[in-house]
Structure 1
Amino acid sequence: MSAGRPGSGRGDPAPSRLRPRDTLRVAASGLSARPLRAVLSALGIAVGVAAMVAVVGISASSREQVNQQLRELGTNLLTVAPGQSFTGEEVRLPPESVDMVDRIPAVTDVSAIGAVAGAAVYRNDEIDPGQTNALAVNAARIDLLDTVGGTVASGRWLDEALAEYPTVVLGATAAELLGISRTDGTVGVWLGGEWFTVVGVLDPVALAPELDSAALVGWPAATEILGFDGSPSTIYERSDEAAIEEVQALLPATVNPEHPEEVAVSRPSDALAAQAAADETLTTLLLALGGVALLVGGIGVANTMVIAVLERRTEIGLRRALGATRAHVRRQFLGESVLLAGLGGTGGAVLGGIVTAVFAATRDWPFALPLWVLAGAAAATVLVGALAGAYPAARAARMPPTAALSSV
């Protein structure tokens, strides 16, 4: 009684199999025999993957930073400024417009700044009057920072007492251009033909960037010392989130009942949202470039595998002569290709994550690399490896054992 396959009744041996574990071992052995070529090919894949991961990660971190700013600063701030008149004349907001806005039931906070005409700020009284550095001089209400969500970097903000005297708070850009960092009351600036003591420097104000390049003096001091006429140049208003659109529609007629068409109302948070949208558009472009780099890496893998097939004709012929089937040979070379691309993809994903983390840390951004990016990068590299290795693997499988051995 012969011992053949179960239920066959014959003595034919069972067909040989190449298990996944065996395929991985054989593929790893093939790559380790030519380490430099394998490393260079994997590097091509890694560059493409790292580029895509870093682009998505940096863009996501940037958007998260913007979203974090919006959560902290709020999206319920509206600004009111003079618009354009039909005749082209200068439009001015009525001095009582701030109080009128405050009477709107849904308004929770309101403040304003007013441009002081003919005033400029200098480091000292010896500076050429034409060298203004484009710094504005504005009268400011003492509730301004609470309304716009601003903070003081050093020194203090204006209060009821300081607003009466020749004191000034500088925006972040203004302080940098004037070369002023001390706010202990020992430093003064030449402002509107008078000496004003610097009592504070602001942090950058995300929702009111015009304050960064401004010198802010108290409303009463601007009126009495600099001849300010009391007309606000920008009104800042916060209201209930649910009533934003309603308040936005009411503001023009409230601020200037006679000419509401000459009033411009804007929402500063829209600029930050637009910035996030622009970042997303740029990300799409950079992802396309990363895809090109990944494609180039795939071509490198295909080239490596084609050369490997040509160089290993003897090995292929010997394996076929010893009983390896075409499927075995195909799986061996396809496994090498997938393993090569997978190693490059893993290295690229790690490198892209490191680049994202370092870049976010240098910009004080939150690290926000989505997990799906890493999973997508791994899937993409496996797919690239399979596509790149399909033709070389098929070519190796079709090679007749006699033709392969004849090259020995």
Structure 2
Amino acid sequence: MRTLRAARNRIVPWDKLRDIPAEAWGAIRGRRGRSALTLLGVAFGILTLVATIGLTGTAAAQVSARFNALQATSVSIQGFDDGAALSRAAVGRAARLNGVVAAGVVHTTRDTLPNVARTAGRAPSTGVDTPVLAADPGALRALRLKPVSGRLFDDVPEERRYRVALLGDVAARNLGVRAVDGRTTLFVAGKPYLLIGIVKTPDFDSQAPFSAILPSWTARTSETGIAFEAPKVLVRTRPGAAQQVGAEAKIALSPGRPDALLAQVPPDPKQLRAHVENDTRTLFLALAAVSLLIGAIGIGNTTLVAVLERRHEIGLRRAIGASRRSILSQFLFESGLLGLLGGLVGTVGGLDLTISIALAKGWTAALSPWLLVAGPLLGLAVGLTAGFYPALKAARLEPVAALAS
């Protein structure tokens, strides 16, 4: 018995494992096509995983900036009884708050939409039912209105009650107005207004592009024949200041009854960005997990086929004294090596893909150093896990049965 154990130790010394890596590498090279396809399955999964983590981290700052520039800088304050309750002094106090870029009063039409027509002569053209906004110059800035043609109105039409008007770019197309020529008159609810500008805004949820915009004095008189809603104050803030401005603006606008006002403040951009990142990361990590599962199945299948093809070799080695542990170690080493190589290829490919997309978008790539180690190690773990059952099956083969098959 001692002689047999000594012979086994001389043939396959467990403590040194010198021949196992060479044998495993030779087995992989002997089946290059099959090994390459198996390796690519793991590599694609690791690539997807690394690229997902890298791209979501890289895009985080860009997503945050987009939210800050649009929704996260707009505050709307409502709850005013009528226009008289809103003095220019009160709006001026709100506009001077720290973090405020612009503030102004805006009125929207109530119930039915007024009929708006245009003419360059004496008779008006066919009218179109169009939303109408009454806004002061501060509200125009808060709405981020930019003239496409002509100009915005200032405080002079408000103070002197000039009949001027602006058209949103969509409303202008509906009325067939292409540019401001100084002669086009708009008839809003039957009253004439000189068109001085066509405007647009980057805010996708704004009503301004579809509206005719009049000076705010038109909402405080019955001469226009338009029924307006109660006024509201629009405030545009600097990024990150919306939450604070929403609380302070109510006090500035109504020091005696701030609780009677309602401030509509956008959600915190950090939380909004986090939700978007989490949803995107979850989706792509699920795809990466599916890819890794496919790669693991490929490794397990390749290792199992290798066991069936090499039954005689395994039986011969067992007959001359190779232990079960040495057989198990060799096949585990093969599957682990395939997983490790796939992890290396996938990690390099994922990092290259992340950097390429970041450069194409003009972003700064944000990559975690641990990805360089985690990718290959994850590939190794997938390979060892997938190859354990075939390796165990090979180790349990009896020499007589293996040689006889």
TM interval, short-chain normalised: 0.5 to 0.7
Deviation at 1:388, TM superposition (A): 1.2
* 1:229-276 deviations in Å (ceiling 9; x for gaps): 79643321548978964x5445435435676555221323x2644432
Instruction: Name the counterpart of 1:7.
Output: none
Q: Which residue of 1 aligns with 2:3?
A: none
The aligned residue for residue 63 of structure 1 is: 60
Q: Is 1:138 aligned to residue 128 of structure 2?
A: no
Aligned-partner Cα distance in 1 for 2:177–2:339: 54
- Equivalences for 1:248-327 in 2 at 5 Å? 248-252=246-250, 254-256=252-254, 260-268=258-266, 270=267, 272-283=269-280, 285-286=282-283, 287-288=285-286, 290-318=288-316, 326-327=324-325
The answer on 1:111 being equivalent to 2:107 is no
Q: Distance in 1 between matches of 2:361 and 2:171?
A: 21
Instruction: State the Cα distance separating 1:334 from its structure 2 match.
Output: 1.8
Deviation at 1:100, TM superposition (A): 0.8
Distance 1:372 1:96 in 2: 57
State the aligned residue count: 376
Contact 1:121 1:190 in 2 (8 A): yes
Give the conservation status (yes or no) of the 8 Å contact 1:140–1:216. no
Q: 2: distance between equivalents of 1:26 and 1:183?
A: 80
The aligned residue for residue 341 of structure 1 is: 339
Q: Is 2:40 aligned against 1:37?
A: no
Q: CA, structure 1 residues 97+46, in 2 after alignment: closer, same or farther (shift >3 Å)?
A: farther
Per the alignment, in what secondary structure is the counterpart of residue 158 of structure 1?
Answer: coil
Q: What one-letter code is carried by the residue in structure 2 that aligns with 1:304?
A: T
The superposition leaves residues 73-116 of structure 1 with CA deviations (integer Å, 9 ceiling, x where unpaired) of: 79676431348xxxxxxx55656355314326744544225234
In structure 1, runs of 5+ residues without a counterpart are 1-11, 84-90
Letter in 1 for 2:61: E
Quick one: structure 1 residues 29 and 363, their matched pair in 2 at CA, closer, same or farther if it must change by over 3 Å?
same
1:45, 1:315 → 2: CA distance?
28
SS at match of 1:217: strand
Offset of 1:321 from its aligned partner?
Answer: 6.3
State how far apart, in whole Å, the 1-side matches of 2:26 and 2:305 are: 16
State the Cα deviation string for residues 337-359 of structure 1 (Å, max 9, x = none): 12322344345445655766787
Paired residue type of 2:104: A
SS in 2 for 1:204: coil
CA distance in 1, matches of 2:324, 2:182: 88
Please give the per-residue CA displacement for 1:348-371, whole angstroms capped at 9, x wherever unaligned.
445655766787789887655545
Q: Which residue of 2 aligns with 1:395?
A: 393
Q: Give the RMSD, CA atoms, in angstroms.
A: 4.9
Question: Within 1, Cα distance between the matches of 2:142 and 2:342?
Answer: 52
Q: Distance in 2 between matches of 1:25 and 1:334?
A: 13
Question: 1: CA distance between counterparts of 2:127 and 2:262?
Answer: 35
- Please give the secondary structure, in 2, of the residue aligned with 1:65: helix
Alpha-carbon distance between aligned partners in 1 of 2:366 and 2:152, rounded to the nearest angstrom: 38
- How far residue 389 of structure 1 moved from its aligned partner, in angstroms, is 1.5
Tell me the residue number matched to 2:154.
160
Secondary structure of the equivalent of 1:307?
helix
Paired residues of 2:68 and 2:239 also in contact (CA < 8 A): no
Q: SS of the counterpart of 1:210? A: coil
Deviations 1:24-72 (A, max 9, x none): 5543432333344334433443454344445444543443223223666
Contact 1:165 1:221 in 2 (8 A): no
Displacement of 1:329:
3.5
Q: Take 2:400 and 2:371, find their aligned partners in 1: how far apart are those partners? A: 47
- Tell me if the contact between 1:101 and 1:110 (Cα under 8 Å) persists in the aligned partners: no
Deviates more, 1:105-114 or 1:233-242: 233-242
Is 1:192 the counterpart of 2:217 in the alignment?
no
Cα 1:266–1:291 shift into 2, 3 Å: same
Q: Is the 8 A contact 2:139 2:234 kept in 1?
A: no
Q: What is the alpha-carbon distance in structure 2 between the residues aligned to residue 60 and residue 230 of structure 1?
A: 45
Is the Cα–Cα contact under 8 Å of residues 76 and 238 in structure 1 kept in the other structure? yes
Cα gap change, 1:79/1:300 in structure 2, threshold over 3 Å: closer, same or farther? same
TM-score by length of 2: 0.68
2:89 paired residue number = 99
**CA distance, structure 1, for counterparts of residue 291 and residue 37 of structure 2:** 14
Taking structure 1 as reference, are residues 300 and 13 closer, same or farther at Cα in structure 2, changes over 3 Å only?
Answer: closer
Q: Distance in 2 between matches of 1:398 and 1:340?
A: 23
Aligned partners of 1:98 and 1:110 also within 8 Å: no
Evaluate the alpha carbon distance shift between residue 199 and residue 361 of structure 1 in structure 2; reply closer, same or farther with a 3 A threshold. Answer: farther
Structure 2: state its 5+ residue gaps. 1-9
Q: In 2, Cα distance between the equivalents of 1:263 and 1:349?
A: 55
